Structure 1
Amino acid sequence: MKKIILSSLIVLTLGLAACGNSGTKNTDATSGTETSTSEVTKKEVTITDGNGEITVPYQPKKVVIFDNSALDTINVLGLKDVVIGAPTSNLPSFLTDFETVESAGGIKEPDLEKINAMQPDLIIISGRQRDFLPDLEKIAPTIFFEVDSTDTWNSIQHNALAIGQIFGKEAEVEVALGDLELQIAETKEKAEASGEKALVVLMNEGELSAYGKGSRFSIVHDTFGFKQSDENIEASTHGQNVSYEYILKQNPDIIFVVDRTKAVGGDQSETSLADNDLVKDTNAGKNGKVIVLNSEVWYLAGSGLESLKIMLEDVNQAFK
């Protein structure tokens, strides 16, 4: 009788132990670390990019990236080693960590043959490579990230969180975005309190374009809170062509300058807006508020976790 009772107790104990181990935790026999079963078995993740929903590999190990903002965010998240290819000849200086990565072609013309040979698990592109999307999709799942210029900050957050979702780094992205949101709120409060009107101008070898809400650099107004000096600027990716006379007529209190020539190379003989006599006669010229932005960041990136910090530092020069 005692043997029967003892046997029953052993069976019951083993049964309880088995139940206790049937949850969502597995222990690595070599390291002793516990791993969620859902993380072990997760193979894919579905996100939304510029074209809609797309299913891609979860935590891909080999990624080719043409979108500098995505490259920026991945770098901040400590995921540099997953990047096997990028347009290395067009990297902003703050992304020099990727200079040793294999070149995947030019920023506007991916090298399809080379990318195919790399056998990536995932490809990430921006608008500059959009025409190549069908060809890239034949090589690997391809994400197209864009920033909605009519809803800049929400769009930027969405893209960053999508990257976090792909690599299992959602919590880290949320913390970084929370810090940025605080900095943005402080900047916006200062901009609105100042009452000063700003004009964003892109220079390209002497040619001038102005940008307002709904356009490429709308973040200055719709996110950072600077009032426009001209509320009627045409909303356009390439901006509204303007003259020095136009700038004088608008008489902005602040002029933010994006120098495309410095970002991509070219004739830099006419790249000093502040030295123009008509610009000198504006409020911005008289008060030393013709502010040259970090053109590499604003023109070649502009929506990654690190680049946003640089952009905030740039516009905050207006308050010094």
Structure 2
Amino acid sequence: MPDYLQEHLADDAFNAGTLFEADVIEIESQQPDLIVIGGRSSALYEDLSEIAPTVDLSLRGSYLENLERNATFLGEVLGAEEEAAAAVAEVTDGIEEARAATADAGTGLGLMVSGGELSALAPAGNGSDARGARGGLIYDAFGVEPVVEDIEAATHGEPVSFEFLLETNPDHLWVVDRDAATGEEGAQAASAVLDNEIVRKTTAYANDQIVYLDPTAWYIVFGGIETTQIMIDDVLQIAD
């Protein structure tokens, strides 16, 4: 449970397994009226549907459309339609504010750091899976202009070198520390990995425009109201 959602954890919450492997016996013993899954747990749909009606709220297409759809659905289920509508309106305004900030911010590159290695994040193409949609959020949802037209083609996939950062030289680097998100023990922090002579020559470093995004929000639990507000606040750092 992310720290910022701990206060919402019910006193009678139970361990339902992992995102990839549900504890079907324990879930069935709870006799749920509805099971909600999404993202990494969507592969469990068939097994869980045998226990109770199951709804898959995985990200498909436009982030904002998904957010509105899912919040509206949950508002109806919980009898909180007005609260859901108000929450969606608030984050919609926040996303628009963030997009206004990025519109004049020049180019950007989304970067994931893990195990001391770098991976470039690219805008999600048509028909992209959830993984691609997640990686493209900084561009697709928040309007950052990619530093090159086709990042995936330019990187020959995803892994990139420090020299790639200098060659493309984006105005902003938007960094997700994957090891921090997954709790990798003994991992080097992304800020330490990027603290080297090559990165110091980039425009983003020179202008103090390397933005470290909340790793839990951007990598693990993106898609909800509170998580989206954290993402908005991250992007609006460039407006401070």
Q: TM-score range by the shorter chain?
A: 0.7 to 0.9
Matched, 1:227 2:145: yes
1:60-75 map, 5 Å? none
Deviations 1:222-264 (A, max 9, x none): 22221111221239xxx72222121221111111111111111
Superposition RMSD on alpha carbons, in Å? 1.9
**Structure 2: runs of 5+ lacking an equivalent:** 125-131
Residue 87 of structure 2 is aligned with which of 168, 171, 176? 176
- 1:270 deviation in Å? 5.4
Structure 1 pair 189/282, CA: closer, same or farther in 2 (3 Å)? same
- 1:212 deviation in Å? 2.2
Deviations 1:272-312 (A, max 9, x none): 24313222211111111111111011111111111111111
**Structure 1: runs of 5+ lacking an equivalent:** 1-90
Residue 269 of structure 1 is aligned with which of 188, 197, 203? 188
Please say if residues 153 and 219 of structure 1, whose CA atoms lie closer than 8 Å, have aligned partners that are also in contact. Answer: no
1:1-320 map, 5 Å? 91-97=1-7, 98=9, 100=11, 101-148=13-60, 150-194=61-105, 196-214=106-124, 215=132, 216-234=134-152, 240-266=158-184, 267-269=186-188, 271-272=190-191, 273-320=193-240
Q: Please give the alpha-carbon distance, in whole angstroms, between the structure 2 residues aligned to 1:282 and 1:99.
A: 47
Q: Please give the alpha-carbon distance, in whole angstroms, between the structure 2 residues aligned to 1:246 and 1:270.
A: 20
Greater relative CO (CA pairs within 8 A, separation 6+): 2
Per the alignment, in what secondary structure is the counterpart of residue 198 of structure 2? Answer: helix
Structure 1 pair 159/295, CA: closer, same or farther in 2 (3 Å)? same
Structure 1 pair 143/244, CA: closer, same or farther in 2 (3 Å)? same
Per the alignment, in what secondary structure is the counterpart of residue 146 of structure 1? Answer: coil
Structure with higher strand content: 1
Please say if residues 38 and 59 of structure 2, whose CA atoms lie closer than 8 Å, have aligned partners that are also in contact. Answer: no
Per the alignment, in what secondary structure is the counterpart of residue 209 of structure 1? Answer: strand
Return structure 1 stretches of 4+ with deviation > 3 angstroms.
none
Structure 1 pair 131/183, CA: closer, same or farther in 2 (3 Å)? closer
Q: Please give the alpha-carbon distance, in whole angstroms, between the structure 2 residues aligned to 1:258 and 1:99.
A: 30
Letter aligned with residue 73 of structure 2: A
Letter aligned with residue 319 of structure 1: A
Q: Please give the alpha-carbon distance, in whole angstroms, between the structure 1 residues aligned to 2:150 and 2:72.
A: 33
Structure 1 pair 293/270, CA: closer, same or farther in 2 (3 Å)? closer
Deviations 1:12-39 (A, max 9, x none): xxxxxxxxxxxxxxxxxxxxxxxxxxxx
Please say if residues 177 and 189 of structure 2, whose CA atoms lie closer than 8 Å, have aligned partners that are also in contact. Answer: no
- 1:271 deviation in Å? 2.8
Per the alignment, in what secondary structure is the counterpart of residue 103 of structure 1? Answer: coil
User: TM-score, normalised on structure 1?
Assistant: 0.66
- 1:153 deviation in Å? 1.4
Please say if residues 92 and 300 of structure 1, whose CA atoms lie closer than 8 Å, have aligned partners that are also in contact. Answer: no
- 1:99 deviation in Å? 7.6
Identity of aligned residues (%): 33
Letter aligned with residue 190 of structure 2: T
